[in-house]
Structure 1
Amino acid sequence: MKYIDMHCDTVMTIPEKGSSDLLIDNKEVSVDFKRLKESNAMAQFFAIFLMKKFMKLFSKKKLRNDDEYIEHCVKLINEATEKTDYVKLAYNYDDLIKNNNENKISAFLTIEDGRSADSLEKIKKYHDMGIRLITLTWNYENCMGYPNSNPKMRDKGLKEFGRSAVEYMNEIGMIIDVSHLSDGGFYDVYNTSKKPFVASHSNSRELSPHTRNLTDDMIRKVAEKGGAIGLNFCPQFLDKNIKNKDSKIELMVNHLNHIKKTGGEDVLALGSDFDGISGKLEISGCEKMPMLFEALRKDGWTEDMIEKLAYKNMLRVIKDTL
């Protein structure tokens, strides 16, 4: 089964002096190019996560400014794809289809936390660099809006620039990602965006009350816009107990069934959050992705439904947005 995964943090794991070879073959992480090939991946979205200063110090990262770090990460991915003949960067639907027809995996570049995209000129610069998705916020307030992690900010909407950014991203062809965004910001994106948007790595708040997840109304709103919701494999976003440390396939199936029942089968997608999550992961790496599809077959899902989750829905979103 081909699949498209909307979110992994693997680039963040490369040591400061590490080689781009670690994106190709590295069994210490959850995603590498070789295992993407083994698992029959169609496309992987690679997030460039903008760390806070304390996180850089903890992980012994150089204290670059955001633009320098983004350029560093883009260079790593470019170098890695140039070293292989089976992974190639993609920037739109036509690239993805061409790569797939040539038995190549598509790598899409994203930024997690729009804090550095503080002007339309900067957004255009990132687009020119190959970035095709921006997660508008992370866990802190930024130039776009507010996070869903802070109860005092959860109902706040997009800032004025955030609305302008959404409109501009529609215009130039970038995917708007509402994972991490405040509830108020979510509805502002829904009301502002003329194109489909995504929650790249979020689950159902009804089944797991973590604020990173989506309410049933949000699920329906994403579906109404023709967008997609990427199933997150993080234990805390799967269980009723948000302190749970076990990521189980059974819980994933429950979330997918609930999202399908609530928003329909056309909103389903994958957003593993590999290399950005921890705990006891039943699907601990991309090579184990087929285990989820097999569990869905046992649960009574048709092949067409599984294909929609795995790649067809995201193909549509990419075509409609990029």
Structure 2
Amino acid sequence: MRYLLLLISLVLISCQPKEQKEEKVEELTIEEKAQQLAKKFIILDGHIDLPYRLKESGFNIEEDKEVILATENGNFDYQRAVAGGLDAPFMSIYIPASYQETGGAKALADTLIGLVESIANAYPDKFAVAHTAEDVANNFEAGIISLPMGIENGAPIENDLANIKYFNDRGVSYITLTHSKNNQICDSSYDPERKWNGLSPFGKQVVEEMNKVGIMIDVSHISDSTFYQVMELSKAPVIASHSSCRHFTPGFERNMSDDMIKLLGEKNGVIQINFGSTFLADKSRQVWNHVKPYNDKAKADPSDTASANYVKRYLAENPLFTNVQKAADHIDHVVKVAGIDHVGIGSDYDGVGNSLPTGLKDVSTYPNLIAELLKRGYSEEDIEKICYKNVFRVWKEVDKLAEASM
């Protein structure tokens, strides 16, 4: 009888519904999944203007280093970077175009590189300068934020090709050929004067030398004709470290046309989407173009309260900001034109002022973009490519080509 009762008990247990025998596994929300992926994958951002912001504020590593950990200023600090899962923010070594006229571009680049190095030296348990994709991967495994560097504006090369290797040795991994004005290398998208109609004779040598040395060529800021000449000359794929799609901002040459994005993809390059609202939405550009003259007047003359007040009133009625969904639209568009292997992130944090979209206000907000991509059906593999793998591919190929040319 005892054995019969035991047998009946076992039969009854086996007949219980599965959910009563096993604990229910709670499914993650999209937002929770995005947070998880932001920690799981390396997040590489192609362009953050922290060094120049710190220099302009009078930053001194001995006295002010704690602002690197947490600050109310700007878009970047350590705490927010950790919260957003940011692992490899490319530090922009930004050289204003004025230095092309006054001189001192190389000296400023050295100063800003030294500033980045000082941050890594002050907090070796939190930051490390990175020169290669492998450096970034190793730092990620160690729980350290990498600080790779890119020079924004090739003016510091001056007229000496040897300076390309010099900056490579100092840890620079990409150079944006120019900025807001034509320089000794090429024409700028922002400058109506087309001095060279593309690359200068020296600029063509610069492209070849960057391939030889192993520095990625950044085609953000350059004119269309310069872009096409670079694509013809460069043996290595190139990046656009902080550009967006002209499809959404007709007539804005600073962004890339569909034809350019398609060619970039065919040449195995990557466009890294700029988060500035005026890069993402034509409406934002129209609003900014309207208020800019008044804003410039107010900045030049603090007593001009009429201009300042007009800007406030106009922006209150005509919002400048777009949103995180618009940034995802640009990623969608690149994928449609060139494919999933040719898009990345290049926020331009600390470089686009107060024009950042709702949902992407600082380096803590990358999970918001990941969540939006998940909602649109992007796979984990797709998101991993956008977060870092696409740029890693270019970076490694540039280094491989340089090693082969030695």
Q: Which TM-score band (shorter chain)?
A: over 0.9
Structure 1 residue 76 corresponds to structure 2 residue 115? yes
Paired residue for 1:34?
Answer: 79
Count of matched residue pairs = 314
Q: What is the DSSP-based 3-state SS (H/G/I as helix, E as strand, rest coil) of the residue aligned with 1:133?
A: strand
**Larger Cα-atom Rg:** 2
What is the rounded CA distance, in whole Å, between the counterparts of 2:115 and 2:193 in structure 1? 38
Report what 2:286 is aligned to.
243
Partner of 1:4: 44
How far 1:172 sits from its partner (Å)?
Answer: 1.0
Q: Does 1:253 align with 2:322?
A: no
Alpha-carbon offset, residue 243 of structure 1: 2.6
Q: Deviations over 1:278-305 (max 9, x none)?
A: 3253211000111000011112211211
By percentage of residues, which structure has more helix?
Answer: 2
Choose the corresponding residue for 1:185, options 195, 220, 226: 226
In terms of mean alpha carbon deviation, does 235-244 or 251-260 score higher? 235-244
Name the SS for the 1:158 alignment partner. coil
Q: Does 1:97 align with 2:142?
A: no
Q: Which residue does the alignment assign to 1:275?
A: 350
**Percent of aligned positions with the same letter in both sequences?**
31
Residue type of the alignment partner of 1:281: P
Shift of 1:106: 1.3
**Mapping of residues 144-163 of structure 1, within 5 Å:** 144-153=185-194, 156-163=197-204
Give SS of 1:212's match. coil
Residue equivalent to 2:363: 286
The counterpart of 2:96, out of the listed 46, 51, 58, is: 51
Q: Does 1:122 align with 2:163?
A: yes
Q: Is the 8 A contact 1:114 1:134 kept in 2?
A: yes
Measure, in 1, the Cα distance between the counterparts of 2:70 and 2:164.
32
Q: Which amino acid aligns with 1:158?
A: L
Amino acid paired to 2:122: K
Give structure 1 stretches of 5+ with no counterpart.
Answer: 55-62
2:253 is aligned with 1:214: no
Corresponding residue number in structure 2 for 1:59: none
Question: Matched residue of 1:230: which SS?
Answer: strand
Normalization by structure 2: what TM-score? Answer: 0.74
Given that 1:11 and 1:23 are in contact with CA atoms closer than 8 Å, whether structure 2 keeps it comes out as: no
Give the CA deviation at 1:102: 1.4
Tell me which of 201, 205, 225 is aligned to 2:242.
Answer: 201
1:113 aligns with 2:190: no
Q: Secondary structure at the match of 1:281?
A: coil
Q: Work out whether residues 152 and 175 of structure 2, in 8 Å CA contact, stay in contact via their aligned partners in 1.
A: yes
**Match of residue 53 from structure 2:** 13
SS in 1 for 2:148: strand
For 1:265, the equivalent position in structure 2 comes to: 340
**Structure 1 residue 225 and structure 2 residue 287: aligned?**
no
Match for 1:246: what amino acid? F
Aligned match for 2:385, one of 300, 308, 312: 308
TM-score (norm 1): 0.92
Q: Secondary structure at the match of 1:46?
A: strand
Q: Secondary structure at the match of 2:384?
A: helix
CA shift for structure 1 position 122 = 1.5
Question: Is 1:25 the equivalent of 2:100?
Answer: no
| CA offset digits 1:153-191 (Å, max 9, x no partner) | 299211111111111111111010000001011011100
Inter-partner Cα distance in structure 2 for 1:231 and 1:43: 15
1:39-97 C-alpha deviation (Å, 9 max, x unpaired): 2222110001112449xxxxxxxx98222221221111111111221211111122122
User: 1:139 matched to which residue of 2?
Assistant: 180
In the alignment, residue 42 of structure 1 is paired with which amino acid? D
SS of match in other structure, 2:247: coil
Counterpart amino acid of residue 100 in structure 1:
F
Q: Which amino acid is the alignment partner of residue 12 of structure 1?
A: Y
Secondary structure at the counterpart of residue 243 of structure 2? coil
Q: Runs of 5+ in structure 2 lacking a partner?
A: 1-37, 288-319, 400-406
8 Å contact kept, 1:147–1:154: no
Kindly indicate which of the two structures has a greater share of residues assigned to strand. 1
Query: 2:97, 2:179 within 8 Å by CA — same for their partners in 1?
Result: no
